[in-house]
Structures are given as C-alpha cells and as structure tokens.
Amino acid sequence: MDQNEPDSPRRVEKRKNIEKLWRKGEARWRYEGEGESDHDFLLKKRSAPRKHPIVRPENERDALVVEMGGPSVLLLDGDEEIRARPRRSTTTGNPNSSLLAVGDRVRYVSAGEGDAVVTHVYPRKRVLLRTAVSDRGFADVIVANPDRIVVVAAATNELLKPGLIDRYLIASAMGGVDAFIVINKMDLVDDEDFSAVEEIADVYRDVGYTVLYTSCVTGEGIEELGNLLRDAISAFCGHSGVGKTSLLNRLVPSASGKTDTISVQSSRGTHTTTKSVLYALPNGGYIADTPGIREFGLYHFDPADLHTYYPEFVARADRCRFPSCTHTHEPDCAVIAAVAEGAIHPLRYRNYLQILDSEREER
C-alpha cells in the first residue's frame, strides 16, 4: 500500500504489511508478509460503540411501507405518514433479498423530531422478485405482499413483448401472486394492427389469463381496470415506456405522477418512474407504480420447473414418454406434439424455449 495514498474510510493501514478491510459489522485482517498465504484471514468483530439505544417492544408500532427511494422510506401508520430509516440492527424475516420494499409490513420506533427508525421487517406472504443484476444469489424485491400483479404492455411493435410478459407471469406465480395483463396505448392502433394485438391477447386468454385493453387518451378500459384493482394491494409492472404512470394518473388523479410525451418515431414513452410508490385508490385498496424494467431474471429458478408455469404444458406433460421430459427434443413428447397440431400456440412455445435457454446460460 502506497504511503502517499490518501486515507480511505474502508481501508486503514494498521502496521507494516498488514491492512484492515472493513466489512459490514466486522473487520478483516489480511496478512501480506513473508510466510503468509493470500488466503490466510483472521476475522475480528468490530467493537464500535452502540449507535442506538435498545428498543423496548412497547415503544414499537406497526406501519406499511408506501414509498421507496433514497436513504429513507415513507411509512403509513393509520392516516399518519412517517419518514423513517433502517439501521444496522434492523431485523428481517426475509433473508437474501432487499431489506425493504413497498408493501412491506414493518415495526418502527420514533427517533424524535419527526424522524423514525425501522426496527423489524415482517416476513412477506407474497412477493414479486427478480434476480439482482449485480448478484444472482440476491433478490431485488419489486413489491411486497401484493394481492395481484398487473403486467402492462403497450400496443406497439417495440413494447408488446410476449417474452417479457411470460417472465412477469412466471415470477408472479413463483411468488404466489395472481396476475393479469393490460395492453395499453390502444389509441395508437389502427384497424390493421388491431388484428395482430388481438392475436397475442387471445393467446393468453386461451390459457386462462385476463387481458384488458386500455387507453389513457380515450379512457378505454380505465373504469374496468379500477374495478379489478378495488380493495386489494396491486402493482403495475412492465417495460419502460408502456404507460404505467399514465394509467396511475387516470386511476389516482391526486398522484400527479410525472409523465413524458411519446416519441413520434418509436411511439414509445420514456422512463419517468425512478422510485416505487404505493398509492391509495379512491374506491379502496392500493396500487404500486414501479420503475420500468428492461431485464428480468427469475430469482432462484430451476429450469426443470419452467413447464409447470405454463398451464397448457401441465395439462399434457403427464402423457410424455419420460417423466423428466424437458419438452425440447425428447421423442414422444406430448407438448411438442401439441405444438405441431396447433393445440399449443407456437408463440408460447417459443417463449418457453427462449426463457429456458437464457436461464440455463445464466446459471
């Protein structure tokens, strides 16, 4: 280590040939002198003084996380909004995932002067997860404890992505959450394009999913969408630019979410939502507006289970010759036969193969 190098808050030279690397809650000493190998480590617990007093259970209160973004979160305790921060000693019933997400139920304690500290995060009953981009062993929580997921696409060639729709539907099923599909921006569709949109919508309707057409310009489908969301915690999810925030503004006018005009060339909106927020619906329930996602990895996903998230595959899989059939190349595969006969739509089968290949490559 260069003696002239400026001090770093994460690396402090203790004495010659020994440096101290700080980690969360512990210090790691690494010996670089002669006779020591690079992998010889000695862990020592950090002895920093306690920053927060011991919390007494009678001083804690329950709340709902309604906004994420920045170092603090916004909690809702009854009708009162509280700005709070997690701390190092915050406990959680949800290991290997984001500590906090909109929809989480938490306990908190007042820290004085309008501030508060989150002390515990309750286990999530249902969840929509994706694999963290930086670490496949860690889960990014999109929304916690939702009753249903609204997978939003747009009626344009660039934003109507059945492969991404399938990923959201699979992730919803893995998290124990019901899902339905909204195809937005129907005001951009002419008579010729409508048949193509209708064909894709019918693919999902035929296997049991609800598909709704909406337009924030004409108001098409907005009232029906509001009825489907009533008295539940729901979340809009989808690709950037499909109009999730515009739908939110129609359902919750007081939200006044930021929206941008669409591009004339691509018929696509821009990415405007940068944090997750849970809004109260006028007729009861909550709706979360989440940032648009262009990549969606399935967290802790076993490719051998993929076919179980395709209802039309499950109905035929027991007729395959091999119990462990992957429905890709095996002889006497009932799923492949159904695709050839037109009983399973080629679009769904193509999505299945693409997701299977991509997840195997990631693993």
Domain locations in the chain?
A: 11-45, 57-121, 143-289, 303-362
**With left for phi above 0 and alpha for psi between -120 and 50, is residue 253 left, alpha or beta?**
alpha
Give the Å distances, CA to CA, from 194 to 20, 107, 265: 64, 49, 19
- pLDDT band at 290, cuts 50/70/90? confident
- Return the structure tokens found at 90: 């915050």
Looking at the domain that runs over 143-289, which CATH code has it been given? 3.40.50.300
- pLDDT at residue 363, rounded to an integer: 62
**Cβ proximity of 306 and 313 under 8 Å:** no
CATH architecture observed for domain 57-121: Beta Barrel (2.40)
The terminus-to-terminus CA distance of the chain in angstroms comes to: 37
Neighbours of 322 (CB within 10 A): 10
> Lowest-confidence range among 22-26, 68-72, 101-105?
22-26
- pLDDT band at 295, cuts 50/70/90? low
> Lowest-confidence range among 108-117, 258-267, 294-303, 312-321?
258-267
Better pLDDT: 273 or 303:
303
> Lowest-confidence range among 41-55, 172-186, 222-236?
41-55
- Return the structure tokens found at 187: 């005001």
* pLDDT, mean of residues 304-323: 94
Distance, CA of 128 to CA of 324 (rounded, Å)? 28
* pLDDT, mean of residues 217-232: 95
The pairs formed by 302-310 with CB atoms below 8 angstroms and a separation of 24 or more are: 303/356, 303/359, 303/360, 303/363, 306/170, 306/352, 306/355, 306/356, 306/359, 307/335, 307/352, 309/169, 309/170, 309/173, 309/174, 310/207, 310/348, 310/352
- Return the structure tokens found at 22: 């700080």
Predicted TM-score (pTM) of the model is 0.76
> Coil, strand or helix: which one is 74?
strand
Question: Which residue in the block uniquely carries the two structure tokens 């998290």?
Answer: 175
- pLDDT at residue 298, rounded to an integer: 84
**Cβ proximity of 147 and 125 under 8 Å:** no
- pLDDT at residue 55, rounded to an integer: 67
Neighbours of 314 (CB within 10 A): 12
DSSP 122-179: PPPSSEEEEE-SS-TTSEEEEEES-SEEEEEEESSTTT--HHHHHHHHHHHHHTT-EE
* Residues pairing with 346 in the sheet: none
Using alpha carbons, select from 181, 191, 237 the residue that is nearest to residue 214.
Answer: 181
Distance, CA of 263 to CA of 183 (rounded, Å)? 18
Distance, CA of 120 to CA of 106 (rounded, Å)? 6
**Cβ proximity of 85 and 70 under 8 Å:** no
Better pLDDT: 181 or 158:
181
CATH class (in words) of the domain with range 303-362: mainly alpha
* Of the ranges 9-13, 24-28, 123-127, 238-242, the best mean pLDDT one: 123-127
* pLDDT, mean of residues 164-179: 93
